[in-house]
Structure 1
Amino acid sequence: MSKPSKYLLVSLPTSVSSSGHKDDALTALRTCISTDGSTFPFTIPEFKIGTLDALVGQADDLSKLANACEGVVGKVGESLRSILDGDEEKISQQKNINDKPVDQYLRSFQWNKSKYRADKSIADLVDSFQKEIAGIDNDVKAKFNQYNSVKTNLAASQRKQTGNLSTRSLISIVPPEALIRDSEYLETHLLAIPNATVKDFLKTYESLTELVVPRSATLITKDDEFTLYTVSTFKKVSPEFMHKSREKRWVPRDFKFKEGGKEEEQKEVEELGKEERKLWGEALRLGRTGYSEGAMVWVHVLALRVFVETVLRYGLPLDFVCGLVQTSDNGAKKVKTRMDSAYSYLAGNAFGRDKKGRVQKDDSAMTAEIQAGGGGEDYTAYVYYEFEIV
């Protein structure tokens, strides 16, 4: 499987180009990236901007929300991996965003204005994203838990029919005439004896406790590991006989004959099999949908995060360009180094204007606010976020 791409979202003021035009600023970014990645325009609409304090708080909220989205998408991806038995080709076929491959969706990203109205406040959008990603997480988790529960029950039922004589169901093995039933004093016990200790069992079972019926050991059947015997005792010594049997590593089998039990057991396996196949399909569909919707929310959260941080970094009036860089781990390190060198001067512009566009002096308090708004991440002179969607 090829290693997934590393994506970078970079926002720069248009002043990085001599003309001040967005197209030229994007060209300047491409030039800086050079051959270490491919750069695509990443269009972000303008949102309602509140107070500076509100923006700093929203930047922190968006940082946490982006991490939550990444976690949900990762969990859904792991759920798909488990249900598809780690088949990477099949897994990759399920991981689309809005019916597009991940890289295609990102390279052609457009804000979904019908679902996430840009005329809403940033706080309302954040609240909407939080509720949606929590709903996706809960729905996918519930369905996969339901599937795994039925799958576990099916496996347990199948083991009853296919395991060795110490664990498998005895309904189809033990004939009713092998048991003493409806006796006031006597009781029949079923014991799975390891094949290596059968001789010892036959020599010692009669003396294991008092009141064991002599020569009552009767062979029922055997497999590669165990031999199944019945032994009769008086009921008053049954608990002691079972306890001492376990000490000898003989395996007591709890069994009561039931008319029609074999048919019921087979029917249970068949019904669980049908339910497991039905839930497998439902879980796969919900996992595919959850991945698509969860990743879509995540990318929109990143876009909104870039917008908020752009306002905090470059001030008003807004005049910026955002680019999506598709690269690799090593490419991302080279790109970061090159951009740090090319755009370090932008640090002096952070919080450089007031709401009316007037230039303000940069100070340590403002820088602290910028870093707080960045969610505690490494500070850069420009707006920069790395992410992978796997």
Structure 2
Amino acid sequence: MREVMEQSSDKVLENALANGVELMSYMTKFQWDKAKYPTALPLSSLTDIINKEVSQMETELKSRAAAYNSVKMSLQSLEHKLDGTLQTRSLNGIVRKEDLVVSEYLTTLLVVVTRLVTLNWERTYESLSEFVVPRSSRKLYEDGEGGLFSVTLFKRAVCEFKAKPCCLCQLPYEVFVAWIHLKAMRVFVESVLRYGLPVNYQALVLHTDKKHSKKLREELASLFIHLDPTATASKTDVRGQIHFLYF
């Protein structure tokens, strides 16, 4: 993401979203997606669905990465030209006064979109910020390299809009969503295997840092040792026996 966002690499964490929410919030407020992963299916079938989904996303990510690198190389080549491209040429005669909306709250941005991602722009520009005016984008000019588009939005969202990463960056977080569902399945399976039926357990997510992680594990080991009848009394063995608590 840092490579793709380039000038806005300091905003990577702000754009690290899973299903539209920050990653830690997604984990701590996790709800199983029954529409995507029907709970009526066997666990083996759910695992197959997740594996197939991740494999498809990996293939798509490679395709988008190749397209992105191709566009980046083309852009770098174009930037070395002195004139003749939308990035460097004068827009007089292309952009008219009536193409621009400028008011107390609204403004119009001009966006150069390469030919490879023109269709994606038209599908996704409204989602780059909640303050984009719907259906406001207009194609003002097009040549063999791409097109010049206008888009109207609230002035306060200009910085946010410019900092948004391209759609290439969303795939890793779709994988994250699948990964968390897989973790939830593991919690279920482990609970049944260790505690039997009927299913009666409570899953918790504890957020810590590297400095306090070891101490937290030791405290949990001491607190829940009674749940593992195979654990020995020694402190070293306790830490080894309760590893199933951590996923």
**TM bracket, shorter-chain basis:** 0.5 to 0.7
User: Map of 1:192-203 to 2, 5 A cutoff?
Assistant: none
User: Map of 1:45-84 to 2, 5 A cutoff?
Assistant: 80-84=1-5
Work out whether 1:105 is the aligned partner of 2:19. Answer: no
Q: Distance in 2 between matches of 1:344 and 1:102?
A: 31
- Residue 340 of structure 1 deviates from its aligned partner by 1.6
User: Map of 1:109-148 to 2, 5 A cutoff?
Assistant: 109-148=30-69
| Runs (5+) with no aligned partner, structure 1 | 1-79, 163-262, 351-377
Instruction: Answer yes or no: is the 8 Å Cα contact 1:158–1:269 preserved in 2.
Output: yes
**349 and 316 in structure 1: CA distance in 2 versus 1, 3 angstrom threshold:** farther
The equivalent position to 2:241 in structure 1, one of 380, 383, 389, is: 380
- Residue 330 of structure 1 deviates from its aligned partner by 2.0
Q: Distance in 1 between matches of 2:66 and 2:76?
A: 15
Equivalence for 2:153 = none
Q: Distance in 2 between matches of 1:99 and 1:384?
A: 29
Identity among equivalent pairs (%): 25
Report the residue type matching 1:303 in the other structure: A
Q: Distance in 2 between matches of 1:146 and 1:277?
A: 8
Work out whether 1:307 is the aligned partner of 2:188. Answer: yes
Q: Distance in 2 between matches of 1:145 and 1:379?
A: 44
Equivalence for 1:297 = 178
Secondary structure at the counterpart of residue 241 of structure 2: coil
Q: CA RMSD in A?
A: 3.3
Report the residue type matching 1:97 in the other structure: A
Q: Distance in 2 between matches of 1:284 and 1:139?
A: 17
The equivalent position to 1:345 in structure 2, one of 226, 230, 239, is: 226
Report the residue type matching 2:25 in the other structure: Q
Equivalence for 2:71 = 150
- Residue 285 of structure 1 deviates from its aligned partner by 4.2
The equivalent position to 1:327 in structure 2, one of 194, 208, 229, is: 208
Deviations 1:163-212, CA, capped at 9 Å, x for gaps: xxxxxxxxxxxxxxxxxxxxxxxxxxxxxxxxxxxxxxxxxxxxxxxxxx
Instruction: Answer yes or no: is the 8 Å Cα contact 1:97–1:292 preserved in 2.
Output: yes
Secondary structure at the counterpart of residue 383 of structure 1: helix
TM-score, reference length from structure 1: 0.40
Equivalence for 1:221 = none
- Residue 275 of structure 1 deviates from its aligned partner by 1.6
Instruction: Answer yes or no: is the 8 Å Cα contact 1:313–1:383 preserved in 2.
Output: no
Instruction: Answer yes or no: is the 8 Å Cα contact 1:151–1:276 preserved in 2.
Output: no
- Residue 346 of structure 1 deviates from its aligned partner by 2.9
Instruction: Answer yes or no: is the 8 Å Cα contact 1:150–1:275 preserved in 2.
Output: yes
Instruction: Answer yes or no: is the 8 Å Cα contact 1:313–1:382 preserved in 2.
Output: no
| Runs (5+) with no aligned partner, structure 2 | 89-111, 125-163, 232-238
**86 and 269 in structure 1: CA distance in 2 versus 1, 3 angstrom threshold:** closer
Q: Distance in 2 between matches of 1:94 and 1:277?
A: 23
Equivalence for 2:197 = 316
Report the residue type matching 2:22 in the other structure: P
Work out which structure has the larger RCO, using CA pairs closer than 8 Å and 6 or more positions apart in sequence. Answer: 1
Secondary structure at the counterpart of residue 140 of structure 1: helix
Equivalence for 1:4 = none
Q: Distance in 2 between matches of 1:305 and 1:103?
A: 19
Equivalence for 2:114 = 275
Larger Rg: 1
**121 and 102 in structure 1: CA distance in 2 versus 1, 3 angstrom threshold:** same
Q: Distance in 2 between matches of 1:89 and 1:100?
A: 18
Q: Distance in 1 between matches of 2:197 and 2:243?
A: 15
Q: Distance in 1 between matches of 2:116 and 2:14?
A: 20
Q: Distance in 2 between matches of 1:291 and 1:323?
A: 24
Q: Distance in 1 between matches of 2:240 and 2:57?
A: 32
Q: Distance in 1 between matches of 2:38 and 2:2?
A: 34
